[in-house]
Amino acid sequence: MKSYRKELWYCASQRRQLINITPQLTECLRESGIREGLLLCNAMHITASVFINDDEGGLHQDFEQWLEQLAPEKPYSRYRHNSYEDNADAHLKRTIMGREVVIAVTEGKLDFGPWEQVFYGEFDGMRKKRVLVKIIGA
């Protein structure tokens, strides 16, 4: 069995942003040489997420609106955590959207269903954060 590990770094230009990272994961898989196995991808920061969904602009706007309804950024006084920082909403949004994805690797390709893509979800951006990619298999 082989193992591959790589860190990907992102610096979102906005406080909240969704970035399609499928091309980078495909490149990691190519670099690994693994043909059959599993790819784990997880955000290494508590206010960011990695998730799978469709790459469609209207859906991304729906995510933004839905998440803002569930965990509004303001007023900052709404959250106890904001006595330390102003990002309590980002912690909650990350919890909703999830920390990681696991994708099957079959015949050297990411084994997706129709329309599936992998996204890095940033909820407290404008600073450098990392994503871990770990691939195991043969």
- Category of 94 on φ-ψ map: left (φ > 0), alpha (ψ -120 to 50) or beta: alpha
Q: What is the pLDDT of residues 42-100, one digit of tens each?
A: 999 999 999 999 999 999 999 999 999 999 999 999 999 999 899 999 999 999 999 99
Number of domains in the chain: 1
What is the pLDDT at residue 105?
99
What is the pLDDT at residue 52?
98
CATH at 103: 2.60.120.460
What is the pLDDT at residue 92?
98
Residue 24: pLDDT band (50, 70, 90) is very high
In the three-class reduction of DSSP (H, G, I as helix; E, B as strand; rest coil), residue 82 is classed as: helix
Q: Domain limits at 27? A: 2-137
Confirm whether pTM is higher than 0.85. yes
